[in-house]
């Protein structure tokens, strides 16, 4: 297999959604919640950390478990999950991890001397009288904390606002003092929930969850998941506590709104909730987000795309790719695993991942793996029935004249090879029933240049696709 910067950027057997990326000491560290392969709920595992050199986003290093769900005094038996965290460097130079457990409305904090921990429980965010934020009468529940420290003030952004819930006003901003726990300025609403959005400019993209905060120059970028869930949006202000104006969509995990290679409202992946942020790495900016796998909402994987800013500070929406940038294609030679598919769909369209998990009777293809959670098994695409299509973008093709694929399953048919989702069929590869991975090939010429590759199954039964090779 070829190693380059790819999506998902971590190994295919790792499930880290809600990614918050930061650069510390010339390494990129990603903090997120931790899903379980074949899990029955969100965020079942303990926090782990991965890092990579700023000049090589294809070489990620596992930093180990940095915090366990049982480390919180409210959760000694581990019955609550660790939801999406964030990290900031305090005035004392230490690293502070903010998180919320899944059944309480308060923000917990842990601390470490190094970016990758191990983190130790530190306390709960509270008012000067000791009452925990989220538990005072009139408080809205805390959720998905995001943090930004400037001097001795830490700005804390929180919130979870379902459509139609008038008890939730929007995303909240709270200011903490130098001890990283005590509220010195009480919560204010900076982005509206759906019931309170009329005339705000946020209509149709109101705040739902997943706040994140970054600063670029003198401008604060508030990144969040909107009420449609699959998109990460942003709002901008010169003040961290007020004046945030809606900016647009940074990325959608079903590529909705993108109209460069397909109709704008055609979904090209099975989307779902989204959470992530933006970060500058080695002078270039990226958005980190997550995708859904295994046909459920509970096995999510981190992805990234390069973004750019217009002169006025706006961010054009990034297209989902297998390589992290439409301007930096992968080499058009060699073997690539099928789990790198950035497009996955069939003739029956669906914007969202199937939330019931009833995939035995479902027609949709899915990215999955063999084994159990934690087994280092390479991912593949399963349940490719008639019309199921996997798309990979982009490759710098030069002289490709043969395509090989590895397939198994109760199938009898062919895989059509194209360079666009609705384009001309360049050739077909016949496949048949096999209980083991079987290699098939055909002489197929891929035009020279930067190309997308689409593999569409035509035939009976259900095929699994492990990889393809360009020769």
| Three-state SS at 141 | coil
- Predicted local distance difference test score (pLDDT) of residue 6: 98
Enumerate the domain spans of the chain: 20-307, 331-470
What is the per-residue burial (b if ≥16 Cβ within 10 Å, else e) of 409-443? bebebbbbbbbebeeeebbbbebbebeeeeebebe
Topology of 20-307 in CATH?
Tachylectin-2; Chain A (2.115.10)
Has domain 331-470 been given CATH number 2.60.120.260?
A: yes
pLDDT at 361: 44
Cα-trace Rg, the chain:
22
Q: How many CB atoms lie within 10 A of CB 454?
A: 23
State whether residue 156 is helix, strand or coil.
Answer: strand
Helix (H, G, I), strand (E, B) or coil at 151: coil
Burial code of 224-242, b = ≥16 C-beta within 10 A, e = fewer? bbbbbbbbbbbbbbeebbe
Cα 99 from Cα 88, distance rounded (Å): 12
Cα separation, 309 vs 125, in Å, equals 34
Give the active site residues. 18, 209
pLDDT of residue 126: 98
Pull the structure tokens for residue 249. 């969509």
Distance, in Å, from the CA atom of 78 to the CA atom of 37, rounded to the nearest integer, reads 19
For residue 314, the tally of other CB atoms under 10 A from its CB is 12
pLDDT at 3: 67
Give mean pLDDT in consecutive 10-residue pieces for the chain, a chain of 471 residues.
84 98 98 97 98 96 98 98 98 98 98 98 98 98 98 98 98 98 98 98 98 98 98 98 98 98 98 97 98 95 98 98 97 97 95 62 86 98 97 98 98 98 98 98 98 98 98 98
């Amino acid at each position: 297999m070829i190693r380059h910067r790819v999506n998902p950027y971590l190994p295919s057997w790792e499930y880290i959604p809600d990614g918050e990326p930061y650069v510390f000491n010339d390494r990129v560290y990603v903090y997120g919640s931790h899903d379980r392969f074949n899990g029955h709920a969100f965020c079942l595992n303990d926090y782990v950390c991965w890092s990579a050199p700023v000049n090589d986003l294809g070489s990620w290093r596992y930093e180990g478990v940095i915090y366990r769900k049982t480390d919180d005094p409210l959760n000694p038996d581990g019955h609550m999950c660790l939801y999406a965290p964030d990290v900031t460097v305090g005035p004392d130079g230490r690293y502070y991890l903010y998180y919320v457990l899944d059944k309480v409305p308060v923000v917990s904090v842990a601390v470490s001397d190094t970016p990758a921990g191990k983190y130790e429980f530190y306390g709960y965010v509270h008012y000067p009288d000791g009452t925990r934020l989220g538990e005072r009468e009139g408080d809205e529940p805390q959720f998905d904390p995001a943090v930004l420290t400037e001097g001795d003030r830490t700005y804390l952004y929180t919130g979870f606002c379902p459509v139609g819930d008038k008890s939730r006003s929007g995303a909240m901003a709270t200011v903490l003092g130098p001890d990283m726990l005590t509220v010195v300025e009480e919560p204010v609403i900076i982005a509206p929930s759906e019931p309170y959005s009329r005339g705000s400019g946020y209509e149709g993209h109101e705040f739902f969850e997943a706040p994140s905060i970054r600063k670029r120059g003198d401008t604060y970028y508030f990144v969040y998941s909107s009420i449609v869930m699959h998109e990460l949006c942003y709002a901008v202000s010169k003040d961290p506590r007020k004046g945030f104006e809606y900016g647009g969509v940074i990325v959608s995990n079903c590529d909705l709104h993108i109209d460069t290679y397909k109709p704008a409202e055609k979904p090209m992946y099975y989307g779902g909730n989204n959470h992530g942020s933006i970060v500058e790495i080695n002078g270039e900016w990226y958005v980190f987000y997550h995708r859904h796998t295994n046909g459920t909402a509970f096995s999510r994987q981190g992805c990234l795309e390069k973004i750019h800013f217009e002169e006025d500070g706006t961010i054009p929406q990034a297209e989902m790719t297998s390589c992290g940038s439409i301007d930096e294609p992968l080499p058009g030679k060699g073997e690539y695993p099928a789990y790198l598919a950035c497009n996955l769909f069939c003739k029956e369209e669906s914007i969202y991942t199937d939330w019931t998990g009833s995939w035995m009777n479902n027609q949709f293809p899915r990215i999955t793996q063999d084994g159990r959670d934690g087994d280092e098994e390479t991912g593949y695409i399963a349940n490719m029935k008639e019309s199921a299509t996997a798309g990979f973008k982009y490759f710098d093709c030069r002289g490709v004249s043969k395509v090989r694929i590895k397939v198994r399953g109760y199938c009898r048919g062919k895989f059509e090879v194209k360079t666009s989702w609705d384009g001309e069929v360049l050739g077909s590869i016949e496949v048949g029933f096999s209980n083991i991975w079987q290699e098939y090939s055909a002489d197929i010429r891929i035009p020279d240049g930067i190309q997308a590759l689409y593999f569409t199954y035509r035939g009976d039964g259900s095929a699994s696709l492990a990889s393809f090779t360009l020769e």
